[in-house]
């Protein structure tokens, strides 16, 4: 058995910064409401013609991670790509990344677990490395959400939250099994699938019917993300805690032993609630939602990269990645750095 060591991290966000104030031009909202309810000050959104899409942003983040790892795309044995906003309905974005980076004809797997995507992707990659099947794996989370949002007042409960961006992590095989990813927890509860979902396009509706529906009703909202905000919030605060405790219990640790929690940046109030319930100090919790909004599957690798760049993660630290989101899905990964 081997363990997986993180040897490179990178992030990329589009240049365009969208402040809360800018959103007031499109919908009835305010900087005060958004900051108070979500903690978000601004987010980055792609703009037409800037060349950014889900795969290309992933490539930019990956090149940084690879350079920091001292590897080239030819050294990568496998790609795990987490996204809820793939470039195409099919094929997945992983194969586009394989081509953009110029990797060999390696396997590329797309993970469709929304906000929990990077937690699932990390767990999957770790298993391939532990078993000895692959040596170097690129794990990526990338999202373009802005192009799919309802920017009218009708969509304000959802649209103010989400941002675009990408984060990447290079994992490599290590002989020291006392380090690396020590435990994972992965869960789902599909009965709540439609509490946070985009329902259309869907193969449940023939395309011909769908086109007719849109032509007859241009206000069809099923193309936009729907979120039962309060319901999601209540489940998130419980599941975040459970997932953290599950990986800690597996490793025989307590919340006091944790050096840094990298929560999926869903909402600052969710992170603060979880911090309070687990009695974690401010320095044990990493938040950057203020600058990026909720970038779903990209939020953990972006936050992990930023925490590492700021020197918040040192050798031997216990770090937890934890997420909750659409599905519902949730989970956590515990790593000894
Ligand atoms: C979305 C969320 C911020 C909304 O906050 P909330 O306190 O639950 O607010 P509500 O949805 O109850 O709406 C309260 C009021 O604010 C209004 N409102 C909603 N969005 C608004 C906006 N962007 N600006 C101004 N007012 C807004 C609502 O219309 C409602 O008005 P009403 O009372 O007149 O009907 C909150 O539910 C949340 O954070 N949920 C979890 C979301 C999340 O983390 N999702 C990602 C999971 S991975």
Q: Measuring from atom 38 of ligand 1, which residue has the nearest CA?
A: 229
Say what the pLDDT of residue 221 is: 87
Band of pLDDT at residue 222, cut at 50, 70 and 90: confident
Q: Measuring from atom 43 of ligand 1, which residue has the nearest CA?
A: 266
Say what the pLDDT of residue 219 is: 84
- Ligand 1: nearest atom to the Cα of 296: 48
CB 243 within 8 A of CB 183: no
Exactly one of 52, 115, 136, 288 is catalytic; name it: 115
Three-state secondary structure call for residue 323: strand
Mean pLDDT is lowest, of 123-132, 194-203, 258-267, for 194-203
Exactly one of 52, 136, 294, 333 is catalytic; name it: 294
Q: Which residues, judged by CB distance below 6 Å to any ligand atom, belong to the binding site of ligand 1?
A: 29, 33-34, 37-38, 115, 156-157, 160, 227, 229-230, 232-233, 236, 266-267, 270, 294, 324-325
Angle subtended at Cα 185 by Cα 230 and Cα 80, rounded to the nearest 5 degrees: 95
Residues linked to residue 78 through DSSP beta bridges, in sequence order: 107, 137
- DSSP H helices, the chain, are 20-23, 31-38, 54-69, 93-101, 117-130, 156-159, 207-216, 229-251, 268-277, 289-292, 299-309
What's the rounded Cα separation, in Å, for the pair 190 and 180? 31
- Ligand 1: nearest atom to the Cα of 29: 24
Across the chain, mean pLDDT equals 97
Strand order in the sheet with 318-325: 180-188, 329-336, 318-325, 260-263
Q: Measuring from atom 46 of ligand 1, which residue has the nearest CA?
A: 266
More reliable by pLDDT, 125 or 218: 125
Question: What is the share, in percent, of the chain residues with pLDDT greater than 70?
Answer: 100
The whole-number average pLDDT for the span 198-214 is 90
- Answer yes or no: 53 catalytic: no
CB 61 within 8 A of CB 166: yes
Question: Pairing mode, if any, of strands 78-82 and 136-143?
Answer: parallel
Name the DSSP class of 105: S
- Answer yes or no: 115 catalytic: yes
The whole-number average pLDDT for the span 135-163 is 97
For the chain, domains (ranges, CATH) are: 3-174 (3.40.47.10), 180-192+226-336 (3.40.47.10)
Band of pLDDT at residue 49, cut at 50, 70 and 90: very high
Q: Measuring from atom 21 of ligand 1, which residue has the nearest CA?
A: 157
Q: Does the pLDDT value for residue 220 go beyond 90? A: no
- Ligand 1: nearest atom to the Cα of 158: 1
Per-residue pLDDT tens over the stretch 278-324: 999 999 999 999 999 999 999 999 999 999 999 999 999 999 999 99
- Answer yes or no: 103 catalytic: no
CB 157 within 8 A of CB 28: no
Per-residue pLDDT tens over the stretch 4-34: 999 999 999 999 999 999 999 999 999 999 9
CB 67 within 8 A of CB 305: no
């Amino acid at each position: 058995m081997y363990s997986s060591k993180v040897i490179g991290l990178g992030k990329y966000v589009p240049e365009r910064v969208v402040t809360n104030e800018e959103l007031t031009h499109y919908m009835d909202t305010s900087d005060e409401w958004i900051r108070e309810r979500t903690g978000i000050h601004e987010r980055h959104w792609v703009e037409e013609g800037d060349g950014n899409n889900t795969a290309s942003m992933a490539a930019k983040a990956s090149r940084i991670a690879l350079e920091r790892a001292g590897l080239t795309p030819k050294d990568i044995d496998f790609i795990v790509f987490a996204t809820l906003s793939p470039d195409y309905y099919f094929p997945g974005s992983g194969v586009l990344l394989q081509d953009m980076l110029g990797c060999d004809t390696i396997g590329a797997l797309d993970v469709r677990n929304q906000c929990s995507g990077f937690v699932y992707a990390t767990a999957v990659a770790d298993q391939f490395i532990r078993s000895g099947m692959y040596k170097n794996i690129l794990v990526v989370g990338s999202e373009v959400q802005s192009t799919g949002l309802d920017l009218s007042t009708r969509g304000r409960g959802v649209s103010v939250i989400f941002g675009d961006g990408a984060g990447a992590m290079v994992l490599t095989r290590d002989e020291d099994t006392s380090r690396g990813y020590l435990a994972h927890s992965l869960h789902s509860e599909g009965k709540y699938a439609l509490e946070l979902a985009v329902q259309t396009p869907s193969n449940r509706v023939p395309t011909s019917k769908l086109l007719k529906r849109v032509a007859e009703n241009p206000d069809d909202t099923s193309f936009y993300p729907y979120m039962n905000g309060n319901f999601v919030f209540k489940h998130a605060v419980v599941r975040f805690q459970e997932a953290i405790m599950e990986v800690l219990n597996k490793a025989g640790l307590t919340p006091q032993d944790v050096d840094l929690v990298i929560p999926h940046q869903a909402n600052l109030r969710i992170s603060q609630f979880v911090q309070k319930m687990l009695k974690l100090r401010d320095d044990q919790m990493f938040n950057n939602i203020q600058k990026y909004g909720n970038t779903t599957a990209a939020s953990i690798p972006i936050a992990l990269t930023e925490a590492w760049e700021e020197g918040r993660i040192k050798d031997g630290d216990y770090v937890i990645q934890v997420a909750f989101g659409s599905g519902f899905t949730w989970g956590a990964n515990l790593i000894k750095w």
